[in-house]
Structure 1
């Protein structure tokens, strides 16, 4: 098998866009229902499909399971038990997602074993750990992309809280002021997400009114206040609205990325992005969702380290820009050709790869001389056993490519 086009599943979550993914795939716009994610990989829930020479199809999951060493390479297959360790997505957020964090490898393994021993079905709505693996992720903007991620520096957060202070909010601001560090953030966050509903119903309207006033007065926290109002309108009685006051508010331009390691509390707000993540379903939700929220388990997982959230722009390696992280499951790289550029690049076959075209069209040429055209919205699978391939634009216009591979890890 060599350079095979993938047919990928679309996930129709309510927060998705009715135009972004259909337009990317060349389908009619708008779609009848929101389309939130396009999955590329071998996740058991919705694996990509590969057409065989006789017209039949197999899932990428079946292909990998039939020949893990040939498809993944000996090191990758050994390290990840014959599983493709990453999942690549197009994410199209028209509305905010839930606020969430993901466990470390050790937390996931322990939590999975605990829930297995308790006999909780893996598909139960109150299951926190349906698998025993970590779920780091990286999101790279295709359009302007808005997110909340990581705890803001407490001194900056105190300035925000003072700017929207109300009689009911002042005691919580004082709580953080008495201990402006990760432990103080933990204390305030824990207090807020465990408030009785009656206390929330008094405090939240005060905070929302104060945010409206701050915007009218052209205060410096305009973006933060608009986000709180958006979340408060969608989830009027949810403690997650208060928790959002503690997180960094980010606006990514196309090509910029953020890495969400274990414990990072985050919330994607709006925009289109390429997302790469470990092949796991472990999510601990904080709020802004009707789904299960396990507060004690969330507090075990969340990392309260604070400060500005690093924005990654990729390290240049020839024409490729590589988004380097400490995640052993994945690595994401991006290549762009401007109008009129035709430079060829060579991609080695050292591990499993998924190539995704997000603009223009590209021609892939194998060592045997076979060519595959990769158009916007299309992706291909390159097994580890394949030799290097050559890649270049096949039209005069601009072309953009994303390359997903396994990360680096020690022997």
Structure 2
């Protein structure tokens, strides 16, 4: 059981307050802080804080003793790698519209690009590694996102309510085939529109969205989102694509899972995110980075409907688990609303665990071992060889801890 020091990633879309406040640092921060990474990702691994004041990379520790740190089963399944990465994500501006490949697609794409001799750090590389990248986000504050294709019938209603003459042909295209194939046809058409056509259509759509908002139409939130994206990314086909996606708002403690092929964009807010330890991203738009439309279309899943909202399955007093099909990870939440008299939660797993305190303070007591107090913003690494740890509130106030473990699926 060792404390972690974790890397902060300073992407331009990040917040200058959320992560700094969580870590107890100066607010506002000098620069945007977008993500706090907890794990053994080669790009920015966490560091273990040793009792003698030294630090060591978690990646180096895992690489030197994968069986001891990960456990035999996890080490074998994931070839000696920690399979998940835990993050705190703080967005003040929208992220790119993107999707991630399945395990098969990632392995095939990686092999293809390796054979073609594309450097793994090249800007046009789609598959820098051969693994899938499912994700789950759990809101710490109200969290806004676009995720998954909306029911086509509702999208037809939205497009008709905008009443843009130049949209009519596209609206009727989807109305004639309101299913996954119809969505694929419309999305493909929009994402491949020549720039002059986009430059003619998008202003009409944005003007219609302004009118819709003024008249308090049924799709107020969707139209406000399109207006925000249109201002941030003028002339971008991703603004049109946003019209096809579910606009979701997660409240604190609510989560949603992004499987392979799910088109999504995180818009605003702070969340805990857990994902497979992979860098494979296929971007659609809302970004200056590389966009590979043919490869994106190979990866996208056009299944449609509402995105399920997960609130955590209660499995013990104060312990809630977010169930997903992901083999790489599982996220759980420990919560004591008032901090007084709450029963301890037993943190036990056959593999490694990362615990992150997001509210209050908690006491970690290992069986026959040392105790540790974890305050808001602090985190700890528990290797597979550690005994079970009892987690209980400390300090009398509300307390919250997120726990990341490897998944238990086959």
TM normalised by structure 1 equals 0.98
Residue 349 of structure 1 and its aligned partner are, at CA, apart by: 3.9
TM-superposed CA distance for 1:389, in Å, is 1.0
2:309 pairs with 1:311: yes
Q: Deviations over 1:123-182 (max 9, x none)?
A: 000000000000000000000000000000000000000011211111110111111100
The answer for unaligned runs of 5 or more in structure 2 is none
Give yes or no for contact 1:126–1:292 (8 Å, CA) kept in 2: yes
Equivalent residue number for residue 379 of structure 1: 379
Q: Please, which of 251, 257, 260 is the counterpart of residue 262 of structure 1?
A: 260
Distance (whole Å) between structure 1 residues aligned to residue 409 and residue 310 of structure 2 = 21
Moved over 6 A (4+): none
Q: Give the deviation of 1:108 after TM superposition.
A: 0.2
Q: Give 1:347 shift.
A: 1.3
Whether the 8 Å CA contact 2:261–2:301 is kept in 1: the answer is: yes
Report what 2:319 is aligned to: 320
Aligned to 1:163: 161
365-374 or 66-75, which moves further after superposition? 365-374
Residue in 2 that maps onto 1:403: 403
| Corresponding residue for residue 185 of structure 1 | 183
For 1:171-250, list aligned pairs within 5 A: 171-250=169-248
Secondary structure of the residue that 1:168 maps to in structure 2?
Answer: helix
Tell me which residue corresponds to 1:388.
Answer: 388
Tell me if structure 2 keeps the 8 A contact 1:37–1:92.
Answer: yes
CA contact (8 A) 1:349 1:386 kept: no
1:69 paired with 2:67, answer: yes
1:20 aligns with 2:11: no
Question: d(CA) in 2 for partners of 1:387 and 1:116?
Answer: 42
Per-residue deviation, 1:89: 0.2
Between the aligned partners of 1:343 and 1:406, the Cα distance in structure 2 is 25
CA distance in 2, matches of 1:67, 1:341: 39
Q: 2:294 aligns with which of 293, 296, 311?
A: 296
Structure 1 gaps of 5+ residues are: none
SS of 2:208's equivalent? helix
Taking the aligned partners of 1:335 and 1:347, their CA distance within structure 2 comes to: 10
Count matched residues: 408
SS where residue 241 of structure 1 aligns?
A: helix
TM-score normalised by length of structure 2: 0.99
Number of the residue aligned with 2:335: 336
Question: d(CA) in 2 for partners of 1:97 and 1:409?
Answer: 30
1:263 and 1:161 map into 2 onto residues whose CA distance is 24
CA deviation map 1:87-137 (0-9, x unaligned): 000000000000000000000000000000000000000000000000000
Q: How far, CA to CA, are the matches of 1:288 and 1:155 in structure 2? A: 25
- CA distance in 2: counterparts of 1:213 and 1:272, whole angstroms: 30
Q: How does 1:94-113 map to 2 (within 5 A)?
A: 94-113=92-111
The Cα of 1:222 is off from its aligned counterpart by: 0.2
Deviations for 1:238-296, whole angstroms, at most 9, x for unmatched residues?
A: 00000000000000000000000000000000000000000000000000000000000
- 8 Å CA contact 2:349–2:405 kept in 1: the answer is no
Match runs of 1:144-159 below 5 Å: 144-159=142-157
The separation in 2 between residues aligned to 1:236 and 1:21, in whole angstroms, is 29
Asked if 1:367 corresponds to 2:328, the answer is no
Does the 8 A contact of 1:18 with 1:29 survive in 2? yes
Contact 2:283 2:290 in 1 (8 A): yes
2:133 to 132, 135, 139: 135
Q: Deviations over 1:65-108 (max 9, x none)?
A: 11101100100000000000000000000000000000000000
Contact 1:15–1:94, Cα closer than 8 Å, also in 2 = yes
Task: Tell me which of 15, 24, 30 is aligned to 1:32.
Answer: 30
Question: Is the contact made by 1:349 and 1:383 (CA closer than 8 Å) also made in structure 2?
Answer: no
In the other structure, the counterpart of 2:346 is 346
8 Å Cα contact 1:264/1:303 also seen in 2: yes
Please give the secondary structure, in 2, of the residue aligned with 1:329.
Answer: coil
RMSD of equivalent CA atoms: 0.8
Aligned to 1:45: 43
> Structure 2 residue aligned with 1:271, among 269, 272, 281?
269
Question: How far is 1:394 from its partner?
Answer: 1.1
Partner Cα separation in structure 1 for residue 132 and residue 48 of structure 2 = 27
The DSSP-based 3-state class of the residue aligned with 1:131 is coil
